[in-house]
């Protein structure tokens, strides 16, 4: 199989939506792993604004959030000289490849997507075709850069499986055009749960603000939300399915401090939930504080961020065109006369 090696490295693609404020779930489930992997791969990190409009957005607000998200990628520690950090809407190849892949994806496959069903139920007044074909655009994002690995939280696995199926189907017809990507799911941060209902994932769009820690929450807010986190009446810090609230807090504490669960159980043996919740809150504040400070600094530097936006869109566009041209030729579109 031909794998496009970019600068000798394997390729990583991932993205986040600029809808709502990023949560600790986004950070621990995805962004943190991006940082760990960024030295090993040639990385494309996109702010996926095309995906965002599958739900109605206020235009000025979407622009503001998209810029904040891009800035946050850098504030989190991704070096924009080494990693390609860009807006999806600045590279038209995403939409162009998505159209072609739409013709290789079955309605039945898209009908099975649980995220579509959830979102359609939530936005019953606006079940648009974009919401339905959202996973195809996601497949296009990934396949456009011939990505080998895609770090995501567990909620995106189904979309990754679809991406692989569509790529394999295309390759079966036209030869080895696309690299088949592998998902990368971190160990303990893969599914961070709501602090108010540990059966649900922590989500940007939760109506209860106490359910999610937002990356821009100040320390007092973080501590208050952890104090109010729903637990149980067992009164012991143990990693057990029967204690989903405590399991979630342990997951968060473990990813933030790097300590394994057995060590955490020992540390809090015989101590109350109050102490444990305070420790988790403090560990999260320690992670968020430097991120927030760097974000503030970077946000003031308009020219620097503008430069990154421009250069990286060009770089992403270059690699995207390479795949797109190959795909267009394979499906039978006529060559452009130059
Ligand atoms: P989005 O914006 O919903 O989420 C961004 C990333 O955060 C992860 N995540 C979580 N991880 C653990 N616990 C949680 N509670 C939690 N909530 C969110 C998500 O799994 C995701 O990795 N469709 C994608 C964006 C996208 C994309 C792509 C991702 C578009 N094209 C191509 C990878 C590759 C999304 O909506 O993510």
Domain count of the fold of the chain: 2
Closest-lying ligand 1 atom to the alpha carbon of residue 51: 30
Model pLDDT, residue 190:
82
Model pLDDT, residue 3:
35
* Host domain of residue 129: 10-184+302-331
- Residues 85 and 175 occupy one common structural domain: yes
- Residues 117 and 265 occupy one common structural domain: no
Beta bridge partners of 87: 47
264 CA distance to ligand 1 centroid (A)? 28
pLDDT below 50 — which residues of the chain? 1-5
**Three-class secondary structure of residue 23 per DSSP:** strand
Model pLDDT, residue 228:
97
Model pLDDT, residue 4:
40
Ligand 1 site-directed mutation target among 19, 23, 30, 66, most atoms within 8 Å of CB: 30
- Residues 93 and 178 occupy one common structural domain: yes
31 lines ligand 1 (CB under 6 A): no
Model pLDDT, residue 186:
86
Nearest CA to ligand 1 atom 31: 138
- Residues 288 and 317 occupy one common structural domain: no
Q: What are phi and psi of 98, to 5 degrees?
A: -60, -40
181 lines ligand 1 (CB under 6 A): no
Residue 285 sits in a domain whose CATH number is: 1.10.240.10
- Residues 247 and 148 occupy one common structural domain: no
Residue 148 sits in a domain whose CATH number is: 3.40.50.620
Query: What digits encode the pLDDT tens for the residues 173-232?
Result: 999 999 999 999 987 778 999 999 999 999 998 999 999 999 999 999 999 999 999 999
Ligand 1 site-directed mutation target among 13, 16, 212, most atoms within 8 Å of CB: 16
Cβ partners under 8 Å of residue 280, min gap 6: 226, 249, 252, 253, 256
C-alpha to C-alpha distance for 223 and 213, rounded to whole angstroms: 10
Q: What are phi and psi of 132, to 5 degrees?
A: -70, -40
Model pLDDT, residue 1:
26
Nearest CA to ligand 1 atom 25: 16
Rg, C-alpha atoms of the chain? 21
Model pLDDT, residue 8:
65
- Residues 111 and 24 occupy one common structural domain: yes
Residue 190 lies in a domain: no
- Residues 285 and 247 occupy one common structural domain: yes
Report strand pairing: 41-47 vs 84-87.
Answer: parallel
132 CA distance to ligand 1 centroid (A)? 17
Report strand pairing: 149-151 vs 84-87.
Answer: unpaired
Nearest CA to ligand 1 atom 20: 153
- Residues 135 and 180 occupy one common structural domain: yes
Model pLDDT, residue 19:
85
Helix (H), strand (E) at residue 273: helix 273-300
- Residues 143 and 27 occupy one common structural domain: yes
Residue 191 lies in a domain: no
Model pLDDT, residue 257:
95
């Amino acid at each position: 199989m031909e794998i496009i090696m970019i600068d000798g490295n394997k390729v990583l693609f991932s993205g986040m939506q600029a809808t709502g404020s990023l949560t600790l779930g986004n950070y621990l489930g995805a962004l943190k792993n991006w940082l760990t992997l960024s030295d090993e791969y040639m990385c494309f990190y996109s702010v996926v604004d095309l995906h965002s409009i599958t739900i109605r957005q206020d235009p000025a607000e979407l622009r503001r959030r998209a810029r904040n998200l891009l800035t946050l990628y850098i504030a989190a520690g991704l070096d924009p000289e080494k990693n390609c950090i860009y807006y999806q809407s600045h590279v038209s190849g995403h939409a162009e490849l998505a159209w072609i892949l739409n013709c290789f994806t079955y309605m039945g496959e898209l009908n099975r997507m649980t995220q579509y069903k959830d979102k359609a139920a939530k936005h019953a007044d606006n079940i648009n075709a974009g919401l339905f074909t959202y996973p195809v655009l996601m497949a296009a994002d990934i396949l456009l850069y011939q990505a080998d690995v895609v770090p995501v939280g567990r909620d995106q696995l189904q979309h990754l499986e679809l991406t692989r199926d569509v790529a394999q189907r295309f390759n079966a017809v036209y030869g080895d055009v696309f690299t088949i990507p592998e998902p990368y799911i971190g160990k303990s941060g893969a599914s961070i749960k709501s602090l108010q209902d540990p059966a649900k994932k922590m989500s940007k769009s939760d109506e209860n603000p106490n359910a999610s820690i937002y990356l821009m929450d100040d320390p007092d807010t973080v501590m208050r939300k952890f104090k109010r986190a729903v637990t149980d009446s067992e009164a012991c810090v143990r990693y057990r399915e029967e204690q989903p609230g405590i399991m979630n807090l342990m997951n968060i504490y473990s990813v933030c401090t790097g300590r394994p669960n057995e060590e955490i159980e020992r540390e809090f043996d015989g101590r109350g939930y109050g102490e444990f919740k305070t420790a988790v809150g403090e560990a999260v504040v320690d992670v968020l504080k430097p991120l927030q400070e760097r974000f503030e600094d970077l946000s003031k530097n308009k020219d620097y961020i503008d430069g990154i936006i421009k250069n990286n869109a060009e770089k992403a566009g270059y690699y995207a065109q390479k795949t797109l041209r190959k795909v267009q030729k394979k499906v039978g579109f006529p060559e452009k006369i130059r």
